[in-house]
């Protein structure tokens, strides 16, 4: 049966055996890693004389969780354009992805491969596009890029994805994650051209690392709490650092004295990027130290340290002393955030957004009164600040009241089909 299907695909649609082929049952398509840039034959389970409910035991394919509803036709519509032609094996007529229904899927089908630049939902489309852009007849801008020239792009895209996280799981976040993923693909492409590594290496290394660092999931280790996981994680990383140091020592050979070179002792704090925002890097450093037991046993100790650093800052005389004491204070405040389970970087960004919102209102109120901020006294500025806070509270209360009424009675006619345009409460 399958030989006949392959022969028809070769004769009617020009399938090339060298390109390989994917074979899947429509009933299990949500659990099948279909790559749309490769040819696909769909064979219903009934044609294999298999139980029709056999696919029910298949788990949805991780990474394509949103394809689990709507059956095979819905999966194919996510992977292929609606007008993509589908061949009906054993029948002269054809159909399209958009025209698929249960009756059509009851027979064997041949789905021709998409051009790689159109196989957007497949994992290998973007690496193919990146490679195409870098070729001599590709994009002049892409051909000029280097690892160094793309560094700032990586940081910018990471920050934009970070900001999008505030909105939760949105399509905006999906877009920003895609922009960040592009940077990974571009650096892998440059490395592939240099003959060092490619995307397969990137995927292999991170997958191996995650499996290695989760022996309680993929091995025999046992943990009870998240704290146990963190301690185990740091122990495994310490072992990896020691192994890396020994390997580097062995590669370096002997010292100039002829004696074996002592292995480099690496710190648990190695690997924290200096390019990270200072607050995020500081909190990561403190978390690593805490996982190894270097931490205040109670939060009261951290609070006492805050007061101590404030006193030292107040007593500082020279600019250098003030700079040092401010740094010490920021360090201990970051530690305080960690003890409270607060991400210091995100907390400061939220506070900055709140300040920005209030200050813009202060500026507006000053304009409405026909005065310049620089001409107002501190007391007058403070009054405007309090007025801005009161305005924000009133808007928040109004929005909450409106939401409560809508929840109880449904949207009002004026609100139907549109969203309220209010400032985010600070």
pLDDT, block means (10 residues), the chain with 426 residues: 88 90 89 91 82 58 72 90 93 92 91 92 93 95 94 90 91 95 96 95 94 90 85 81 71 55 66 80 87 86 94 94 94 93 89 92 92 92 93 88 70 45 39
CB 45 within 8 A of CB 51: yes
Give 31's DSSP letter.
G
pLDDT of residue 63: 79
pLDDT of residue 415: 44
Greatest Cα-to-Cα distance within the chain, rounded to the nearest angstrom: 90
**Six token digits for residue 134:** 């870098």
CB 164 within 8 A of CB 176: yes
pLDDT of residue 57: 57
pLDDT of residue 294: 83
pLDDT of residue 261: 55
Q: Is 258 left (phi over 0), alpha (psi -120 to 50) or beta?
A: left
pLDDT of residue 108: 93
Tokens 């890396």 sit at which residue? Answer: 244
Q: What pairs with residue 41 in β-bridges?
A: 23, 110
pLDDT of residue 416: 46
Say what the pTM is.
0.69
Rounded to whole angstroms, how far apart are CA atoms 79 and 63? 13
**Can you point out the beta strands (E) in 89-205?**
94-96, 109-111
Rounded to whole angstroms, how far apart are CA atoms 389 and 28? 56
Cα Rg for the chain, rounded, in angstroms? 30
pLDDT of residue 1: 82
């Amino acid at each position: 049966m399958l030989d006949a299907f392959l022969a028809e695909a070769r004769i009617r649609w020009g399938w090339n055996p060298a390109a390989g082929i994917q074979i899947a049952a429509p009933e299990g398509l949500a659990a099948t890693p279909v790559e749309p840039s490769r040819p696909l034959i769909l064979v219903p389970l009934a044609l294999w004389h298999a139980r029709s409910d056999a696919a029910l035991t298949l788990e949805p394919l991780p990474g394509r969780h949103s394809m689990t509803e709507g059956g095979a036709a819905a999966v194919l519509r996510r992977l292929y354009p609606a007008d993509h032609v589908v061949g009906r094996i054993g029948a002269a007529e054809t159909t399209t992805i958009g025209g698929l229904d249960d009756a059509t899927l009851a027979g064997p089908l041949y789905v021709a491969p998409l051009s790689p630049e159109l196989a957007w939902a497949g994992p290998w489309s973007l690496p193919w596009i990146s490679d195409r852009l870098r070729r001599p007849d590709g994009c002049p801008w892409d051909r000029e890029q280097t690892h160094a020239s793309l560094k700032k792009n990586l940081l910018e895209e990471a920050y934009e994805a970070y900001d999008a996280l505030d909105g939760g799981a949105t399509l905006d976040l999906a877009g920003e994650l895609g922009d960040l993923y592009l940077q990974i693909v571009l650096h892998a492409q440059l490395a592939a051209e240099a003959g060092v590594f490619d995307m397969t290496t990137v995927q292999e290394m991170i997958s191996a690392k995650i499996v290695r660092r989760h022996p309680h999931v993929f091995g025999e280790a046992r943990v009870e709490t998240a704290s146990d996981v963190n301690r185990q994680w740091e122990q495994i990383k310490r072992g990896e650092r020691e192994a890396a140091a020994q390997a580097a020592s062995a590669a370096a050979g002997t010292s100039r004295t002829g004696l074996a070179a002592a292995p480099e002792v690496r710190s648990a704090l190695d690997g924290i990027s200096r390019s990270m925002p200072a607050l995020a890097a500081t909190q990561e450093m403190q978390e690593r130290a805490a996982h190894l037991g270097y931490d205040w046993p109670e939060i009261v100790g951290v609070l006492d340290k805050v007061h101590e650093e404030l006193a030292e800052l107040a007593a500082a005389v020279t600019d250098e002393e003030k700079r040092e004491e401010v740094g010490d204070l920021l360090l201990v405040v970051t530690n305080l955030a960690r003890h409270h389970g607060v991400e210091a970087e995100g907390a400061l960004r939220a506070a900055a957004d709140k300040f920005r919102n209030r200050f813009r209102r202060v500026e507006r109120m000053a304009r409405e009164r026909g005065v310049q901020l620089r001409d107002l006294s501190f007391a007058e500025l403070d009054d405007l600040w309090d007025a801005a806070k009161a305005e924000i509270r009133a808007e928040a209360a109004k929005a909450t009241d409106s939401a409560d009424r809508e929840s109880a009675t449904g949207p009002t006619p004026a609100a139907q089909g549109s969203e309220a345009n209010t400032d985010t409460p600070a």
